[in-house]
Amino acid sequence: MAKIKTHRELEVYQMGFDAAMRIFEATKGFPREEVYAMTDQIRRSSRSVCANLAEAWRRRRYSNYFTSKLNDAEAEAAETQVWLEFAVKCGYLTPETGRELYTTYDFIQGKIVNMILHPEHWVIGK
């Protein structure tokens, strides 16, 4: 396995980035009255997964900081899932699209939790 040099090389980051971009495209069709509510919130939380993963990567010299930022990323992924549920219930996303994105965030959360449980694979020694 090749050594990962940047957060962009992390599979979980790539999955999160792709999912956030899919959410961005899907939310372009949300009603205007949702711009400052659901649209902004789901875009923000989905992007925050990646931002927190990048920050965790840069803080991997310190296990506690690393896992703290990973916990933030996991929480943002869970928040995104809640917004996906609302979007489907409100009829803004099809059930199929909502289910597909929700499942993607299940995988993302699983990968993040695995990193949290095994920081020794990621943290840089002093």
The model's pLDDT over 86-95, given as tens digits with 9 standing for 90+, comes to 999 999 999 9
b or e along 6-33 (b: 16 or more beta carbons within 10 Å of the residue's beta carbon)? ebeebebbebbbebbeebeebbeebeee
Q: What is the pTM of this model?
A: 0.94
Q: Is residue 126 part of a domain?
A: no
Q: Is residue 2 part of a domain?
A: no
Q: Is residue 77 part of a domain?
A: yes
Q: Is residue 28 part of a domain?
A: no
Question: What is the total count of domains within the chain?
Answer: 1
Residues of the chain with pLDDT under 50: none
Round to whole Å and give the CA distance between 116 and 121.
10
Q: Is residue 106 part of a domain?
A: yes
Report the CATH number that the domain containing residue 57 is assigned in CATH: 1.20.1440.60
| Domain membership of residue 94 as a residue range | 11-23+33-120
Q: Is residue 5 part of a domain?
A: no
Q: Write down the pLDDT at residue 2.
A: 61
